[in-house]
Amino acid sequence: MSDINLVLVDFGGVIAQEGFKAGIRYIAEKHGFDTDKFMKTAFELVYGCGFTTGKNDSDGFWDRLKQITALNLDNDTLTSIILERFVVREELLLIIEKISEKNIKTAVLSDQTNWLDELDKKYDFFKYFDKIFNSYHLGITKKDPEIFDRVIAEMDEKPENTLFIDDYMPHLERAEQKKIKTILFKNMEDFRQDIVKYFEWLDF
């Protein structure tokens, strides 16, 4: 019998394909930028300008990125390029639904922006989870280990009874320091094999 009472799931790269990374790559390649350099700048900026912690908005992020890189495209178009590349994995949501039916708590834990709320309007996936923890509203990201303390306390659980699923190893390492169990998400095939180690009763 699993001792997991709470499952925390990342959004971009787990619940959905990583639309920010894919969108930024597309913009860089489409407009002739050095892809690696452009992506590094964008990723540093989305955190650095305060967008992921609710201290800035999408216009502030895009305006600053355009200032740094000389990109010439309107903000609404840039946002659309990102959002359309977040494609929700329906199979994963069905797995979460099965876990919830066993009275196991589930929550999203994501370094995101208000775009997460926009994506829910399109895909209606919040309903699969008991709680949504979005860095944009929390004012803190998964780069700070304190986020795990706050989330687990709010969910009234213990770290050792919590499972965290993310596609970025440094986030998982910070969670493991808090004695949280983890799964590195790579693809659905590997995920099915990993998740049944905790929930043997799952069938696909």
Q: Domain of 189: which CATH number?
A: 3.40.50.1000
Instruction: Report residue 174 as tokens.
Output: 């910070």
Question: What are the backbone angles phi and psi of residue 146, rounded to the nearest 5°?
Answer: -60, -25
- Check if the beta carbon of residue 68 is closer than 8 Å to that of residue 57: no
pLDDT at 81: 98
109 SS3 class: strand
Average pLDDT over residues 37-56: 98
pLDDT tens-digit map of 164-179: 999 999 999 999 999 9
Q: How many CB atoms lie within 10 A of CB 73?
A: 13
Model confidence, pTM: 0.96
pLDDT digits (tens, 9 = 90+) for 111-169: 999 999 999 999 999 999 999 999 999 999 999 999 999 999 999 999 999 999 999 99
Q: Is residue 34 part of a domain?
A: yes
Positive or negative, the Cα torsion across 14, 82, 113, 100? negative
The pLDDT of residue 178 is 98
Residue 2: the pLDDT is 77
The two structure tokens encoding residue 6: 């709470």
pLDDT per position as a tens digit, 47-92: 999 999 999 999 999 999 999 999 999 999 999 999 999 999 999 9
Per-residue pLDDT tens for 85-109?
999 999 999 999 999 999 999 999 9
Domain boundary residue, one of 83, 98, 133? 83
**Within a domain: residue 1?**
no
| 46 and 141 fall within a common domain | no
| pLDDT at position 60 | 98
The count of residues in the chain is: 204
Confidence of residue 42 (pLDDT cuts 50, 70, 90): very high
Q: Is the pLDDT of residue 190 over 60?
A: yes
Do 72 and 106 share a domain, yes or no? no
Q: How far apart are CA 80 and CA 43, in angstroms?
A: 17
Q: Which domain holds residue 149?
A: 6-17+88-195
